[in-house]
Each structure stands twice: as structure tokens, then as C-alpha cells.
Amino acid sequence: MSSLTVELGERSYPIQIEAGLLDQAGFFVPYIKGPLAVIVTNETVAPLYLDKVRAACGDKHVETIILPDGEQYKSLEQFGVIMTRLLEMNAARDTTLIALGGGVIGDICGFAAAAYQRGVPFIQVPTTLLSQVDSSVGGKTAVNHPLGKNMIGAFYQPILVAIDLNTLNTLPAREFSAGMAEVIKYGIIYDADFFAFLEQHHAELKALNTQLLKDTIYRCCEIKAEVVAKDEREGGLRAILNLGHTFGHAIEAEQGYGAWLHGEAVATGTIIACHAAMHLDWLSASETRRVRDLFEAFSLPVSGPESMDKAAYMSHMRRDKKVEAGNIRFVLPQGIGKAVVTKDVSDDILAQILA
């Protein structure tokens, strides 16, 4: 088993990565703090992996909360469903929540763990590529609002991230591609050699080569763990992890949550960010072409919805969490392997890249 640690002092926690991890009887027992574990999952994942996770909880008493599947259900309404169920089962402060699913389940379960009785322990069991490389690590938890994505939430760290590579075998191809958008992001913002590795091995990754997937997921988690350890609450460095997200979240909110997958919106948002960086002479046309080609190699979109103009983007981006003193801050690449947060994107540049 491959493992690494998110170093946060007394709140540090391990990330375990292995094919067949969920088949290990009693695997979660050492991490479940009290007599009760509550698995939060959705209607799609439950038939696939709920029994395995139950078995991995050993002799602990296990309850389940099964939510509808889809980004549109990462809502205050479904958050309330979790709260009600926890109260109905008299869950105590030593209850451990287990988020079994993709980013939606991980985010809403984590937020519920942060809020219930002012905080109960929770475990992330991500079953999509996107959640394995990104959303399960780092403690960002949230629900969406019609006016903005992830605007209601908390920083709240899990006690364990358990990644079973075998869950990718049941992942739809579109969801796998969406996850690759976040994988590619790490190469653009932090590691040019990793970006080149993805270029070289994209065909094997699409074919779900187990060893290459394990190496890829490990490197993504390693980068994110390093960034989070330096800047847990996104006061500086951690903001670079949002490359493509300012534009991407605008697309998701404007089109209706679920119409575009998060990774699809991030891919398109990253291309828009690359065009902004080109206007600032931070990124060459050839580098932008490499980014575009790699996204396209994984069947990801590289242009925004035709129905969205600058006004539509701006109405959402003004509510972005990186806005300071009324100024939108953008994450832009400075070549492949480095990114910065900047306010230096003029209205003229925005008019051109959002046309």
C-alpha cells in the first residue's frame, strides 16, 4: 500500500492508496472513534461499494444515509437531510461519518461532519478520479447555492483518506475524463515534469493502467498535501490550486449544476486562464497548445458555452471566494509548472478572452 501524510500538526492524517483496499476486512476499525459509524453515500455508489465499506467497519454498528446522485444535490436541502438523520439516530459526538462517493458526497458529508455537534470525525472514501486527486484531500467542505458554487461550507479535515484504485473500474468514461482535468492542473501549476509524464502516458492512463494510475494519483495527492501543509486555509499559496476554477465555477452556476461536470468546466476555465496569461506575456502560444492538446486527449472541452458572454461570467465571478476589496483575483500560469494569483487582468483582456 502506498501512503503519505497531510502534515497539519495534531490534525495530520494519512492518505492510503491501493487497489482492493476496501476488500480488507476491518480496515476502518482503528479509525472509527466510537461505537457508531454512519456511511453517507448516493444511489449510484451504494449498490457498488456500500457492502464492502460495511464489512471494512468490522464489528462497529453501521448506519447509512443514501442521497440522490448529482451536483444539483450538493445543497442545503440535502445537508438538512443528513442532519435530520443523524439526530434521529441519536448520533453522539464520537460518531464517525464515512463519505463514500465522489466530490459531491465528500463535500456535503465533510460539511455535515464539521457542523454536527460542532464537529465529529469523518473519513473520506473517494470513488471518482476527481475526488481521489483533489476534493477528498485538504479539508474543503461545502454545499452549493443557486448564486454560487461552494459558497457555504467550512475548512474541516478528515481523519483518513482511503483510495481504492479498483473503484475507477466502475467509473463512467466521462467522469474519468473530468477527473483528469484536475490531474492536468497539478502539472500546469506545480510540476512541469509531471505534465510531460501525462503527455507521454495519456493513452495508458485512459486504458486504466493500474500502476500508472497509482503513480499519478500519488503525485497529485503529494502535491496537494504539500500545498495544504503550507497554507491550510487558502491565505496565499493554496489559491493556485484553483487554476481554471474562477471561470469554471461561473460556467457551472450559469448552466445549472450538473449540466457540465466540474472537471469539464475546470478544463475550459483553464484554457481561458491560459489565454489571459498569453495576453500578459506569461505563457507562450506553444505552451497553451500543449495544454489544449492534453485536455483534448482526454475528450475534455476547451471552449465555453456559446450562450455565455462576458456579462454572464462576470456576474458569477464577482462572487468568487478570491475576490478582495471588490477586485477579482485570477490564478494564471506563468509557463507550465508555475502559477500565480493576480489582479492584473484588465477589462480589455477579459473582453477578449470571454468574447
Distance CA 131, CA 133 (A): 6
| 224 counts as catalytic | yes
| 279 counts as catalytic | no
Residue 245 assigned to a binding site: yes
Please tell me which residue in 52, 185, 249, 290 is annotated as part of the active site.
249
| 11 counts as catalytic | no
Please tell me which residue in 185, 224, 316, 321 is annotated as part of the active site.
224
Distance CA 262, CA 251 (A): 9
Residue 157 assigned to a binding site: no
Residue 58 assigned to a binding site: no
Q: What distance separates the 2 farthest-apart alpha carbons in the chain? A: 62
| 316 counts as catalytic | no
| 10 counts as catalytic | no
Please tell me which residue in 234, 252, 254, 264 is annotated as part of the active site.
234
Q: Which three cell numbers stand for residue 287?
A: 505552451
| 249 counts as catalytic | yes
Tell me the DSSP string of 10-75.
Answer: GG-EEEEEETTGGGSTTTTGGG--SSEEEEEEETTTHHHHHHHHHHHTTTSEEEEEEEPPSGGGSS
Residue 262 assigned to a binding site: yes
Residue 61 assigned to a binding site: no
Residue 231 assigned to a binding site: no
Residue 214 assigned to a binding site: no
Please tell me which residue in 185, 262, 290, 316 is annotated as part of the active site.
262
| 327 counts as catalytic | no
Tally of CA atoms within 13 A in the half-sphere of 301 that contains its CB: 19
Please tell me which residue in 219, 245, 316, 329 is annotated as part of the active site.
245
Residue 310 assigned to a binding site: no
Residue 216 assigned to a binding site: no
Residues 145 and 151: beta-carbon distance below 8 Å: yes
- The amino acid sitting at 32 is I
In this structure, the dihedral spanned by the alpha carbons of residues 281, 244, 290 and 226, taken in order and rounded to 10 degrees, is 100
| 52 counts as catalytic | no
Residue 80 assigned to a binding site: no
Please tell me which residue in 42, 144, 150, 242 is annotated as part of the active site.
242
| 85 counts as catalytic | no
Residue 167 assigned to a binding site: yes
Nearest to 319 by CA among 154, 149, 111: 149
| 174 counts as catalytic | no
Task: Show binding-site residues.
Answer: 69-74, 103-107, 127-128, 140, 149, 167-170, 182, 245, 262
Task: Show binding-site residues for NAD(+).
Answer: 69-74, 103-107, 127-128, 140, 149, 167-170
Task: Show binding-site residues for Zn(2+).
Answer: 182, 245, 262
Where in the sequence numbering do the catalytic residues fall?
118, 140, 182, 224, 234, 238, 242, 245, 249, 262
